[in-house]
Structure 1
Amino acid sequence: MACWLYEGMLLFGVVFIAGYLFSALTQTRHALDNRHAQQAFLFVVLGIYFTWFWHKGQTLAMKTWHIRVVDRLGRPLTQARAFWRYLLAWVWFLPPLALRTAFDLPALEVVVLWGGWVVVWALLARFHPQRQFWHDVWAGTRLIDTRPAGNAPPGAVSS
């Protein structure tokens, strides 16, 4: 989860630059103008970012935390499998967003719902025999520890 939080900090820059580029190219003057088009653009940009780096094995945050994503057999991901993992990873966000849309909830309630959902979704990994997140199970991927054998904590899965 620490890697996930670090990834979020790095994505701030990616989203900022992509949003600035979108606003400049579309001459958007107000934040709510072209909102849905900008959201779709950012969805594509994030998809390219994650698909590219997961296909290579690691994002910058994953390198920092010595985590690599591989397929079930330990091989690097194809771009198709990396993209599939990206789509399935939206399970971290979609249920609270769907509730927001269905019940027209205010932003604060959506943040609380999202925080609760993240905790629930993360805890559900404890029920998997290898303690994998379920979107990884469905995508046919897994996260492995890339630290040298002497530096890995006891019980860690190594590559």
Structure 2
Amino acid sequence: MACWLYEGILLFAVALVAALVFSVVTQMRHALQYREALAVFVALAMGAYCTWCWHKGQTLPMRTWRIAIVDRHGQRLTLGRAATRYVYCSIWLLPPLALARGAQLTRWEIAVVCAGWIAFWALLSRFHPQRQFWHDAMAGTRLVSASPSK
């Protein structure tokens, strides 16, 4: 999970740069202008970052924690499989955010719902035969220990 938190910091930077590019290109004058389009653009930018890095075998945090990602057969991921994994990774956040949007929850309530869902989804990995996260099982990927870089 430490790798996951480190990844979140890098994804925040990716989202920040993507939002800057979007706002300059669209000449946004107000924070709520084109809000939905901005969200889609940021999600696509983060998807491009994750897909490219997973296709290469590791993101920077994965390299730091000596974790690699491979397919079921131990081979490097194709771009398509890496993109599929990114889509399945949305299970970590989309269900609670969809619930929060429909229920008109406050920010603190959204935070609690998201934290509860993330904990629940993480605990479900205990029920997988190889103890891997379900998004990896569905995408046909797995995390493995990587040898130290020289």
Aligned equivalent of 2:74? 74
Aligned residues: 148
Deviation at 1:27, TM superposition (A): 0.7
Aligned equivalent of 1:8? 8
Q: Which amino acid aligns with 1:139?
A: A
Deviation at 1:84, TM superposition (A): 0.3
Aligned equivalent of 1:120? 120
The 2-side partners of 1:39 and 1:15 are apart by 9
The 2-side partners of 1:107 and 1:80 are apart by 35
Deviation at 1:101, TM superposition (A): 2.0
Aligned equivalent of 1:85? 85
The 1-side partners of 2:92 and 2:12 are apart by 18
Please show how residues 127-146 of structure 1 align to structure 2 within 5 Å. 127-146=127-146
Aligned equivalent of 2:101? 101
Aligned equivalent of 1:31? 31
Q: Is there any run of 5+ residues in structure 2 with no aligned partner, and where?
A: none
Q: Which amino acid aligns with 1:82?
A: A
Q: Which amino acid aligns with 2:29?
A: R
Show CA shifts across 1:70-94 (max 9, x none): 0011000000000000000000001
Give the % identical residues.
55
The 2-side partners of 1:89 and 1:21 are apart by 25
The 1-side partners of 2:53 and 2:13 are apart by 16
The 1-side partners of 2:44 and 2:92 are apart by 17
Deviation at 1:147, TM superposition (A): 3.6
Aligned equivalent of 1:50? 50
Deviation at 1:100, TM superposition (A): 1.1
Deviation at 1:8, TM superposition (A): 0.5
* TM-score, scaled relative to structure 1: 0.90
Counterpart of 1:31 in 2: which secondary structure? Answer: coil
Q: Is there any run of 5+ residues in structure 1 with no aligned partner, and where?
A: 149-159
Show CA shifts across 1:104-142 (max 9, x none): 112211111000111111111011121100000000000
Q: Which amino acid aligns with 2:143?
A: L
